[in-house]
């Protein structure tokens, strides 16, 4: 298959998996609605939802406002496997990465229209599955990329990309508006940024300009 055919097949296979995820989410949601109000004492005590829990006539009145999220990790590795190039070093591959995330978002939007529930696309942190998934995948596929032992979280550029903090923020910012279920961009600082408020503000301003919803600093 050529590159365009690979991407079409990749989208088709993703949609197959996503349809199963939708079935699981809906099954869990409807199981939730079969429970009784006393099963949720914390919700009742603190009235955690936008509807009055005790005054609502059914659990559906309350829980329909929740989200049913489809998440993803490993966008960077997926693009490299499909193209042989890293998306943060190649503008054409970056556009393909954005196109794929846009495709996933359009799918979740279609679920909103179909089921009248809050489906969303989640850029997953994947603290456990980022190591578990490649371990499973090595049983079925051969790729030097799998030998890293982990997948990069969500749409993040790889941790050893060599990009500056500003470049990383600008690169990832374009993905934020597509991931309405939640997302984060973080930058690694060499030390605690004590006494350097101006430096932090420059990064925050860059994030705002780039459309970043949620910015974190690690050091």
| pLDDT per residue as tens digits for the range 97-140 | 999 999 999 999 999 999 999 999 999 988 899 999 999 999 99
C-alpha–C-alpha distance, residues 52 and 100, integer Å: 39
Instruction: Write the pLDDT tens digit of every residue in 55-112.
Output: 899 999 999 999 999 999 999 999 999 999 999 999 999 999 999 999 999 999 999 9
CA distance 59 to 138: 43
- Tokens 């790889």 locate to 158
Is residue 72 helix, strand or coil? strand
**Rounded to an integer, what distance in angstroms lies between the CA atom of residue 31 and that of residue 39?**
13
Task: Give 164-191 pLDDT, tens digit per residue.
Answer: 999 999 999 999 999 999 999 999 988 8
Lowest mean pLDDT among 19-23, 49-53, 112-116: 49-53
27: left (phi over 0), alpha (psi -120 to 50) or beta: alpha
Q: Answer yes or no: are the C-beta atoms of 165 and 202 closer than 8 Å.
A: no
What is the model's pLDDT at position 116? 97
Q: Is residue 9 scored above 90 in pLDDT?
A: yes
**Whole-number pLDDT of residue 113:** 97
Tens-digit pLDDT profile for residues 144-169: 988 888 999 999 998 889 999 999 99
What whole-number distance in Å separates Cα of residue 97 and Cα of residue 85?
A: 11
Q: Which two tokens stand for residue 178?
A: 């597509």
From first CA to last CA, the distance across the chain in angstroms is: 43
Q: How far apart are CA 60 and CA 49, in angstroms?
A: 12
How open is the CA angle 182-188-190, to the nearest 5 degrees?
160
74: left (phi over 0), alpha (psi -120 to 50) or beta: left
């Amino acid at each position: 298959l050529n590159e365009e055919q690979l991407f079409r097949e990749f989208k088709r296979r993703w949609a197959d998996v996503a349809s199963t995820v939708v079935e699981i989410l809906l099954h869990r949601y409807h199981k939730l609605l079969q429970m009784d109000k006393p099963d949720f004492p914390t919700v009742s005590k603190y009235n955690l939802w936008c509807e009055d829990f005790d005054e609502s006539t059914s659990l559906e009145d309350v829980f329909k406002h929740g989200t049913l999220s489809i998440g993803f990790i490993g966008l960077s590795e997926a693009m490299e496997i499909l193209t042989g190039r890293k998306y943060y070093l190649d503008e054409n591959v970056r556009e393909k990465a954005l196109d794929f995330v846009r495709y996933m978002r359009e799918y979740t939007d279609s679920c909103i229209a179909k089921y009248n529930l809050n489906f969303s696309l989640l850029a997953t942190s994947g603290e456990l599955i980022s190591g578990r998934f490649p371990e499973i995948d090595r049983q079925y596929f051969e790729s030097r990329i799998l030998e890293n032992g982990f997948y990069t979280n969500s749409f993040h550029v790889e941790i050893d990309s060599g990009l500056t903090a500003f470049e990383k923020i600008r690169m990832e910012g374009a993905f934020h508006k597509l991931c309405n279920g939640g997302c984060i961009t973080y930058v690694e600082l060499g030390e605690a940024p004590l006494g350097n408020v101006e430096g932090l503000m420059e990064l925050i301003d860059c994030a705002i300009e780039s459309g970043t919803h949620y910015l974190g600093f690690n050091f």
